[in-house]
Amino acid sequence: MKPSSAEAGWSSTLHRFDDAHPTAAGHFPGNPIIPGALLLDHALRAIGIGGAAEVQVAKFLRPVRPGDAVSIRWRRDGALTQVECWVEDERALTGVVRSP
């Protein structure tokens, strides 16, 4: 079950990948999914870290498809940030990044 965004220390935002996202046609034809690197990039940009972060751990747990609404949650602890992406009640990504 997806945790509440009101949990202590967690912030959240929502992102939807457009049905016509450019990666949909080629990744993979007939079964489009959003590439994991793109999902992680969107999550890091949404939380204000961007490409300067050092990814410590990233686990991709379920596919994210064009049209999916992705709940991005994060919690900072000094230079480390825990990040999660959820689609409905399923975790799609969990990771830890270090800010520069």
Alpha carbon distance 89, 97 (integer Å): 23
pLDDT digits 0-9 by tens, 83-99: 999 999 999 999 999 98
Domain residue limits, the chain: 11-98
Confidence at residue 5, expressed as pLDDT on a 0 to 100 scale: 57
Q: What is the pTM of this model?
A: 0.89
CATH class of segment(s) 11-98: alpha beta
pLDDT tens profile 33-84: 999 999 999 999 998 987 778 999 999 999 999 999 999 999 999 999 999 9
